[in-house]
């Protein structure tokens, strides 16, 4: 049995498709007409739209991809992610039109299937479209859920919350924490030697656990007795508004100094940071075998003479004090000092022999001491220096003596007024981090590219650089150095 398939003749086929031709033309013209109202953009592919532009761009940072597309098609472009149209705005002027001038037209939520299901056709305040209904919903929420009475109604719940700080090796309980409204506070098994008087103001506290601490400033009957008695005793140490903080602070300081002194005997480290001391009491110097002293964040103007006897001292931290005169006489006996931090003081002048005797210094921080750069020979004698921090010192150029410190690993010259980087910086072959951010640098010498193998961090933000494109700067240190190296003329 033979089967044969007969195709319609050309006249028959034409008679069938010819009536559909006007509809097809109208459809295409309609598409073309609609497309004219859309902003320019990259070519769209069927089904996926412009997804290929994102995946094949070679950059996994989507905002940079949009930036590159905006540079090509303009600040107002059209893309399709799948079948969904997207309008990308890349200029502040157009963004202002969308977000400020015509914000009411665009201040709404997208209509999607999931939102309709979980919010009963977008009837709640989170998914409702912007309009009168949403404004009424917001008003109800504010008046019902966020009113003063409603918020205050949770005070009891917050007061009942437990605060567990047990087994944390705490050495002190911060005064700021005394403002919390707690019902139970567990400070057991720590290293507390006293309590701040301000803790007596925690009137909501019903139970305070202190077992496992060496509380020297409190009687054992107070520690083991009712919490109310302990709080009453602590409050009694606050006599008046002005005297309270003064007396409480004084007792707190004495306790902290005693504890720090005791610990220094075994650890060889004395830390009196953040006590707002105007001077260091003589009782703190139980040992001159100390290798590290931290006196930062105090109110010290003159350093104690006892420092000169600490011949084994290696680390001296004096940051954030009120030191005005360079303590050179004390430093002459500190031959083992390797780290000196004097940042954020009030130093006005550093004498030419200011670093005499500090030949072993490896870390030096003088940041924040405006106009206090040392007189010549300056840092020339610090041949072992590896870190130098000169941030915010009103420098207008990189000093010549700094260019001689070829062993530097870290150099911080940020927040100054430096205009140029000398070519001699290429000789810093040990440098791993260079920070010249927030200066007045407009160009970089190509020879800096020779540091490509060693320099790992190169901070340039906040400079009016004109010789390097922003795209290269955004890619980081390695690309910047490679760009500079490629520009070296032979």
The mean pLDDT value of the chain amounts to: 82
Strand 84-89 versus strand 76-81 pairing type: antiparallel
**201 Cβ contact partners less than 8 Å away, ≥ 6 residues apart:** 178, 235, 238
The verdict on residue 181 lying in a domain is yes
| Span 242-255, pLDDT tens digits | 333 433 357 778 88
Same domain? For 80 and 160 the reply is no
The verdict on residue 159 lying in a domain is yes
| Span 196-221, pLDDT tens digits | 888 888 878 888 888 888 876 677 77
The last residue of one of the domains, among 185, 217, 238, is 238
The verdict on residue 359 lying in a domain is no
The verdict on residue 354 lying in a domain is no
Among 11-25, 213-227, 298-312, whose mean pLDDT is lowest?
A: 11-25
State the pTM of this model. 0.52
| Span 436-490, pLDDT tens digits | 999 999 999 999 999 999 999 999 988 999 888 888 988 899 999 999 999 887 5
Same domain? For 399 and 489 the reply is yes
Please give the tally of structural domains in the chain. Answer: 3
The verdict on residue 411 lying in a domain is yes
Tell me, rounded to whole angstroms, the distance of Cα 300 from its chain centroid.
29
Q: What token pair was written down for 113?
A: 């299937």
Instruction: Considering only CA atoms, give the Rg of the chain.
Output: 35
The verdict on residue 317 lying in a domain is no
pLDDT surpassing 90 at residue 411: yes
| Span 251-279, pLDDT tens digits | 778 888 888 998 998 999 999 999 999 98
Omega before 377 within 30 of 0, i.e. cis: yes
Handedness of CA 16, 19, 25, 28 (dihedral sign): negative
More confident residue, 301 or 23: 301
CATH code assigned at 204:
3.80.10.10
**17 Cβ contact partners less than 8 Å away, ≥ 6 residues apart:** none
The last residue of one of the domains, among 219, 238, 257, is 238
Among 47-56, 272-281, 320-329, whose mean pLDDT is lowest?
A: 47-56
Looking at residue 36, what DSSP letter applies? H
The last residue of one of the domains, among 107, 127, 147, is 107
Residue 216 domain boundaries: 155-238
Select the highest-mean-pLDDT range: 183-192, 351-360, 448-457: 448-457
Q: Let me know the angle formed at the C-alpha of 42 by 38 and 45, rounded to the nearest 5 degrees.
A: 95
Among 111-115, 206-210, 321-325, 410-414, whose mean pLDDT is lowest?
A: 111-115
Same domain? For 413 and 488 the reply is yes
One-character DSSP codes across 94-153: HHHIIIIITHHHH-S----HHHHHHTTTT-STTTSPSSHHHHHHHHHHHHHHSSHHHHHT
The verdict on residue 69 lying in a domain is yes
Q: Let me know the angle formed at the C-alpha of 321 by 360 and 299, rounded to the nearest 5 degrees.
A: 135
Q: What is the mean pLDDT of residues 124-150?
A: 76
Q: Where are the alpha helices (DSSP H) in 268-398?
A: 328-331
Same domain? For 78 and 167 the reply is no
Residue 304's SS3 state is: coil
Residue 175's SS3 state is: helix
User: How far from each other are the two terminal CA atoms of the chain, in whole angstroms?
Assistant: 88
Same domain? For 90 and 168 the reply is no
The verdict on residue 360 lying in a domain is no
């Amino acid at each position: 049995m033979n089967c044969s398939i007969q195709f319609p003749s050309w006249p028959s086929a034409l008679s069938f498709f010819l009536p559909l031709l006007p509809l097809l033309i109208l459809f295409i013209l309609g598409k073309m007409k609609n497309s004219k109202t859309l902003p320019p953009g990259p070519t769209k592919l069927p089904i996926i739209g412009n997804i290929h532009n994102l995946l094949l761009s070679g950059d996994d940072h989507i905002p940079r991809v949009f930036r590159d597309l905006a540079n090509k098609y303009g600040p107002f472009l059209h893309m399709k992610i799948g079948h969904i149209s997207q309008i990308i705005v890349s200029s502040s002027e157009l963004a202002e039109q969308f977000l400020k001038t015509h914000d009411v037209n665009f201040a709404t939520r997208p209509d999607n299937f999931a939102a309709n299901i979980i919010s009963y056709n977008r009837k709640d305040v989170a998914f409702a479209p912007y309009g009168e209904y949403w404004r009424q919903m917001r008003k109800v929420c504010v008046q019902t859920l966020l009113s003063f009475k409603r918020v205050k109604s949770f005070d009891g719940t917050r007061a009942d919350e437990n605060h567990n700080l047990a087994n944390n090796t705490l050495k002190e309980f911060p005064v700021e924490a005394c403002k919390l409204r707690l019902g139970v506070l567990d400070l057991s098994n720590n290293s507390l030697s006293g309590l701040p008087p301000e803790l007596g103001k925690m009137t909501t506290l019903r139970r305070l656990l202190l077992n496992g601490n060496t509380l020297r400033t409190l009687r054992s009957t107070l520690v083991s007795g009712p919490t109310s008695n302990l709080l009453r005793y602590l409050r009694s140490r606050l006599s008046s508004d002005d005297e309270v903080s003064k007396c409480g602070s004084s007792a707190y300081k004495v306790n902290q100094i005693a504890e720090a002194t005791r610990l220094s005997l075994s650890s060889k480290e004395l830390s009196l940071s953040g006590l707002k001391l105007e001077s260091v009491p003589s009782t703190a110097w139980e040992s001159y075998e100390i290798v590290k002293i931290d006196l930062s964040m105090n109110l010290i103007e003159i350093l104690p003479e006892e420092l000169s006897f600490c011949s084994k001292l290696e680390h001296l931290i004096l940051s954030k004090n009120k030191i005005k005169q360079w303590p050179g006489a004390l430093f002459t006996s500190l031959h083992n000092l390797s780290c000196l931090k004097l940042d954020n003081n009030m130093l006005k002048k550093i004498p030419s022999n200011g670093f005499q005797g500090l030949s072993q210094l490896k870390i030096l921080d003088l940041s924040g001491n405006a106009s206090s750069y040392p007189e010549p020979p300056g840092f020339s004698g610090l041949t072992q220096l590896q870190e130098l921090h000169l941030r915010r010192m009103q420098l207008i150029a990189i000093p010549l003596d700094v260019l001689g410190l070829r062993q530097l690993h870290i150099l911080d010259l940020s927040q100054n007024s430096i205009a140029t980087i000398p070519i001699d910086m290429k000789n810093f072959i040990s440098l791993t981090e260079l920070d010249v951010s927030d200066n007045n640098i407009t160009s970089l010498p190509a020879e800096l590219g020779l540091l490509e193998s060693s320099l790992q961090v190169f901070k340039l933000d906040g400079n009016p650089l004109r010789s390097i494109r922003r795209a290269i700067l955004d890619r980081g240190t390695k690309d910047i150095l490679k760009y500079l190296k490629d520009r070296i003329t032979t």
